[in-house]
Amino acid sequence: APPPPSTTNSTQSRPSYPFLPFPLNMLGLAKRVGARFLLTSTSEVYGDPLEHPQKESYWGHVNPIGVRSCYDEGKRTAETLTMDYHRGAGVEVRIARIFNTYGPRMCLDDGRVVSNFVAQTLRKQPMTVYGDGKQTRSFQYVSDLVDGLITLMENKYTGPFNLGNPGEFTMLELAQVVKETIDPSARVEFKPNTADDPHMRKPDISKAKSLLNWEPKVSLKQGLPRMVSDFQKRILDE
């Protein structure tokens, strides 16, 4: 799916254009050539969850007509199509539900909370926190995600599997880690929250641990400096 526009500090409002033809076309191609198909779905399928942490068996709590619904329901529909091709056409599929991921080479201004906070602090701007900053997210380093996707594709299980780091942080706690990593004098600026912003997000990865023998290895305090180093070089070149 296309990247989200820059709007909030969690996982943003999503584009208003559809992306479903892409998985549909790729599923058709996988059927024709006998390929194994990977759907990179998202924790957004859980919406604003009433279950915490979120297991793969949880069906979610999504507003189907809200500002985030294009992305949320689009990914849910993509999972439906993927399983329909698996059941009806025998396509070999794998489904990964990816939680917030960060790392080097992300777009400087993609609107995601970690890149927002890092870029703002390096530019000596206040970190923008929406709402009271008490909403939670879980952040996994990109190398852990890549390992998880490869492991999933090389295994026999269809999924879905949560791929994320169960370490849970409020936005204010994340801002504090960014301050400690970059600049202790960095400031926070509060703005009104956006509609349907999930109050909490944390993956239950027991299924991935037991069936795939996978779990993340890189903590936020280990991974963030690697991202900061990359952002610092690119911001200096602006």
CA atoms within 13 A on the CB side of 20: 15
Residues of the chain with pLDDT under 50: 1-18
Burial class (CB within 10 angstroms; exposed 0-12, middle 13-18, buried 19+) of 120: buried
pLDDT at position 19 is: 53
Q: Is residue 49 part of a domain?
A: yes
Q: Is residue 15 part of a domain?
A: no
pLDDT at position 74 is: 93
pTM over 0.85: yes
First vs last Cα of the chain: how many Å apart? Answer: 28
Q: Is residue 11 part of a domain?
A: no
Q: Domain containing 88 — which CATH number?
A: 3.40.50.720
Q: Is residue 1 part of a domain?
A: no
pLDDT at position 212 is: 98
- The CA-CA-CA angle for residues 238, 118, 177, to 5°, reads 155
- The CA-CA-CA angle for residues 168, 42, 21, to 5°, reads 165
Q: Is residue 65 part of a domain?
A: yes
pLDDT at position 16 is: 42
Q: Which of 46, 71, 130, 141 is catalytic?
A: 71
Q: Is residue 9 part of a domain?
A: no
Q: Give residue 151's domain range.
A: 20-237
How would you classify residue 124: left for phi > 0, otherwise alpha for psi between -120 and 50, otherwise beta?
A: left
Q: Is residue 146 part of a domain?
A: yes
pLDDT at position 20 is: 60
Active site residue 141: no
Quote the number of domains for the chain.
1
Q: Is residue 73 part of a domain?
A: yes
C-alpha span between 4 and 2 (Å, rounded): 6
CB atoms closer than 10 angstroms to residue 82: 26
